Structure 1
Amino acid sequence: MSDAWVAIDFETANGYRGSPCAVGLTAVEDGCITERMHTLIQPPAAYGHFDPYNTRIHGIRASDVETAPSWAEALQRILEFTAGRTLVAHNAAFDLGVLRDACTAQGNPWPTLRYACSLVVSRRTWRLISYALPEVARHVEVPLEEHHQAGADADAAAHIMLAAIRHHKAASLDQLLKGLNIVHGTVAPNAWSGSRSKSNHKGKPSAPMPGANLDADPDGAFYGKTVCITGTLSRMKRAEAQAALADAGATPVKNVSGTTDVLVVATPDPRRFAIGSEKSSKQKTAENLLEAGKDIEIIGEADFFERLNS
């Protein structure tokens, strides 16, 4: 049986996910790219305005899509092209969210799909400073000269997944996901679930850190951030806060490092401080990183809960 799947990437007209204005698809069979499709799209009418910010990113204007297919027509083309094959996207939570939200906005039922996320696979395959599409593409030596052009980004996602398959010596996409303990995401007419890593722990784990939920709201304050907590929170246990962060799409970590984006400083426990110190080692590390030019934010407990609940 051949290994066949399709990489997909959407661009949107504005900040609402259900405003697709372009889609790119790259078909892969047995390790080779076999076919491509790209089309501009008229976003659903209720969300058809073009935000200047989005246009600066991808260059698409309202005038460019005046004669483009409607969302219903584009969706039909997408489903005909994919023909039931598994979809692959880099940060699939966003791209499959675009598809679902556009269907909802247009009054179309959600199609039945299965998908995988090359971002989730990349995190389980390579140790990188950033897992953004251009950085992973650069790591696997895939040229990406037109980032945010849907066809180019779909191509890059396909090459990244192919590189991971080769790296792990997997015979197929399904075998790769099984070996990495990653579940497929699914979309059905009345439900959906994300493509995510499953725990590799057997038996009783020793306080594992929860993984980021990539299907969380990408507009959330902590989505995509690496967050560390120091001190004692007054409103919940630290493990509960770490789980809440992960559910919001953040990556909670136990210690501050150069990859940490936010340090939450709760009520300090002086018993844990070094002799003569008034700050935890985590806070001192964060302050040293700030002085060295690292973009790390230090916030208090009140700000933490406000952002978590926003």
Structure 2
Amino acid sequence: MFGVKIEINEMSSIVTAAKETRKRNKGKLMHLFPKDYVVVDIETTSLSPDWGDIIEIGAVKVVNNEIVDKFNYLVNPTFPSNYELDDFTTNLTGISENDINNFGKSNAEVLREFLDFVNDSILVAHNASFDINFLYDAILKEFDYEFKNDYVDTYNLGHFYAFKKPEMNNHKVADFVKKFNLSNEAPFNDMHRALNDSLLEKQIFDLEREKLGDDWILESQYTRHSGKKYELKKYEANLDADESNPFYGLNIVFTGTLDRFTRNDAHEFIANLGATPQKGVRMDTDMLVVGVQQNNTKEPNKSSKQIKAESLIEQGKADISIVSDEEFLKMAAEIID
């Protein structure tokens, strides 16, 4: 459990639902700089494992801080049948439906080769829980095997330790690329592609190592400094919460009907973890949690909040994780005993 300085309301609907949700028995989030590791990045059709598929995996193996091998495969989730890819994903990544169907391999083949490539290495990723959760669920589904490699999050290291505000206000990969003029020789350097982003994230990890020191390690994760209508209570973020928990510092919006917990309980829960509940999607929103949608917009099964979030993402104005309420509960379950 994270060493979060909070008081949990055991009667809260979200605590009850989270406890009933199966936890991912995955590896631990580490705060250190190993010399041997594997950087990994994935491209997906959604920001939630409940809805989306992995369509590309890229990785670079690092030994003694030097890249020694690379891994990059397109995935056809319906192999050998043709896969239908939406325009939003193609516009974001540059990966086309033809790419998937002509060059994509099956989930089983790519995931098996990926497991052989990483072996028991520590993994490094940007917003690591996104990549790790997708991979964990896909590997569990394909092989009934728990993917338990420990991992380091370059976003977490940059945001909370190496390049805190005001030195850097935002910490997306693109923000590091712009600030430090990063580039590489990957063929798709100007767009979201898995190998390209892995190479950039290796450079971000090097910058954080240089800033904090090769021997830096977080000594303690337990001491931090500082359809039914109803009125939403206002909750302020608990700044004394453990910064290493996956919600700390995020601006989070909920939309749709939340089947297993109330919105007030959700707002209280994330605020206790150091997150800020927002009523509407904005450019500074970090996460949108989506429940059951009503067909009251031009796009079926999407609320106006989700449509706005997707528009901001596509325009490059925001970096918002869109997750299902079930995926949110899985993340919450990892924090609660």
TM above 0.5: yes
> Which segments of 5 or more consecutive residues in structure 1 lack a partner in the other structure?
182-196, 224-234, 253-258, 263-294, 296-307
Query: Cα distance, 1:138 vs. partner?
Result: 2.7
Task: Pick closer, same or farther for the CA change 1:213–1:49 going to 2, 3 Å.
Answer: farther
Partner of 2:201: 157
Normalising by structure 2, what TM-score? 0.54
Superposed CA deviations along residues 24-67 of structure 1, whole A, max 9, x for unmatched, are: 10122222222211111112679x54221111101212321224
SS at match of 1:85: coil
Partner of 2:72: 38
* Alignment partner of 2:192 out of 130, 137, 148: 148
* Alignment partner of 2:146 out of 102, 110, 121: 110
- 8 Å CA contact 2:270–2:276 kept in 1: the answer is no
Q: Tell me, in whole angstroms, the C-alpha distance in 1 between the residues paired with 2:219 and 2:204.
A: 15
* RMSD across aligned positions (CA): 3.9
Q: Tell me, in whole angstroms, the C-alpha distance in 2 between the residues paired with 1:261 and 1:149.
A: 23
Task: Pick closer, same or farther for the CA change 1:261–1:9 going to 2, 3 Å.
Answer: closer
Superposed CA deviations along residues 180-218 of structure 1, whole A, max 9, x for unmatched, are: 75xxxxxxxxxxxxxxx653359xxxx7433474379x9
The runs of at least 4 aligned residues of structure 1 exceeding 4 Å deviation read 240-243, 259-262
- 8 Å CA contact 1:6–1:158 kept in 2: the answer is no
Partner of 1:244: 270
Q: Tell me, in whole angstroms, the C-alpha distance in 1 between the residues paired with 2:212 and 2:239.
A: 24
Task: Pick closer, same or farther for the CA change 1:75–1:130 going to 2, 3 Å.
Answer: same
Q: How does 1:270-289 map to 2 (within 5 A)?
A: none
Answer 1 or 2: which has greater strand percent: 1
Partner of 1:72: 108
Partner of 1:20: 54
- 8 Å CA contact 2:94–2:191 kept in 1: the answer is no
Partner of 2:97: 62
Query: Cα distance, 1:246 vs. partner?
Result: 6.0
Q: Tell me, in whole angstroms, the C-alpha distance in 1 between the residues paired with 2:109 and 2:78.
A: 11
* Alignment partner of 2:253 out of 217, 221, 226: 221
SS at match of 2:253: coil
- 8 Å CA contact 2:126–2:201 kept in 1: the answer is yes
Q: Tell me, in whole angstroms, the C-alpha distance in 2 between the residues paired with 1:21 and 1:260.
A: 27
> Which segments of 5 or more consecutive residues in structure 2 lack a partner in the other structure?
1-33, 227-237, 256-263, 278-282, 287-316, 318-327, 330-337
Superposed CA deviations along residues 117-145 of structure 1, whole A, max 9, x for unmatched, are: 00000111113121111102333332274
Q: Tell me, in whole angstroms, the C-alpha distance in 1 between the residues paired with 2:211 and 2:141.
A: 40
Task: Answer 1 or 2: higher relative contact order, Cα 8 Å, separation at least 6.
Answer: 2
Q: Considering only CA atoms, is the larger Rg found in Structure 1 or Structure 2? A: 1
Partner of 1:122: 158
Normalising by structure 1, what TM-score? 0.59
Task: Pick closer, same or farther for the CA change 1:78–1:260 going to 2, 3 Å.
Answer: closer
AA in 1 matched with 2:270:
A
AA in 2 matched with 1:250:
A
Superposed CA deviations along residues 99-127 of structure 1, whole A, max 9, x for unmatched, are: 12323454542223111100000111113
